[in-house]
Amino acid sequence: MKSYFFHLLLICASLSYKWITMRKDFDLMLSEKSRNVVSSYDSIRRRSVTQKLKLSTNTYDDGALEDAKNFRNDPTTPVKQNATLLMLVRNWEVQGALQSMRSLEDRFNKEYNYDWTFLNDVPFDKVFIEATTAMASGKTNYAVIPKEDWDCPEWIDQKRFNQSLQLMQEENIVYGNSRSYRNMCKFNSGYFFRQKVLDNYDYYFRVEPNVEYFCDFPYDPFKIMKEKNKKYGFVIAIYEYEDTIPTLWESVEEFIDIKGDELGLDLDNSAYDFITDFEIYGSNKFLIDSNTNYNLCHFWSNFEVGDLNFYRSNRYIEFFEFLNEKGGFYYERWGDAPIHTLAASILLHRDEIIHFDEIGYEHAPFRTCPRSYFMRLSQRCQCDYSGENNVDIEFNSCLSRWWKNGSGKKFVKEL
């Protein structure tokens, strides 16, 4: 009996082994068929073409990300232009200055080591100088602004000025009651480029405390400015508060009437239409509340890259001096952003102004973040392109007006 059961056990074990072997062979056959099905579409998926990471969006460039990495890791030593990073800043703003410096150094300047130039209406203290020198990858310059370039001019009617301060404070206009803000706007409009510390430079990149640069720079903005003959560069364009500039456009029109022929202004080939176009675009039915022929569009000048020789030109100096004599920097609250914008739009050819479309940037409360998925990946951006503060195509942005009336919608790499 024992022999019978033992023999039966051997038969069961043999059958079980054969079943397991057959099941393995069957599974292998199914796996092979599955692999064949998957690989049969490789020509469409193009995985046989490249083993590199392919973007999940619709692109026909399989090596896009790898190419971007190779560009970023190019061992070639970049050629520096005759340019400086420029910051107007107070001693007590040192932490905000360091934040901006660290961001720009990490995203751009560590590869180029451009000089930093710091301006203040009082001497910089030891703490500020030591901290910013340590943060900079290039040389640092420090200069005190002469009083005649910074202070309120003696010819300004102080009674009228004080009345303006009081009225704007009552109307809750931003910086409406600030004397120093007016000094700053006048300085940035007509005196920053006259500082001796800048005499040997051709280009400047304006940097303010407490700003952020979200993406690696895919190019050197200074090189673009020089090679493409650009005079003024921006990233954000929005509307100005008309209550701060009620008579500015009237003064600009007067300048054009009086000086236009003498200076040879060519409004047909300028960006004049950018600042006078009131057409409604797209789904944002934003009605411009302006009492003049100026649509209030301006380049947000806390980020700007400019040709210092444009500001040093007779054209620009005459433009500024004409406006300065009106007293609007103090009797009203004219900002340097509309001044720079109006000057560039009237005095320059539209193709001499450039929108740096691939640079991510924030100066509270607004930001610009590239909407291109590829750009955000290849430039290692850290920003939310869909956020409400990403102003580029929101109702309060003038960018669509620039695309229509300026030099058009172009990527810098296409220029």
Residues with a catalytic annotation lie at 304
Contacts of 156 (CB under 8 A, 6+ apart): 327, 330, 331
Residue whose entry in the numeric block shows the structure tokens 């051709």: 202
Contacts of 222 (CB under 8 A, 6+ apart): 80, 81, 83, 114, 203, 205, 305
Residue whose entry in the numeric block shows the structure tokens 């059961």: 5
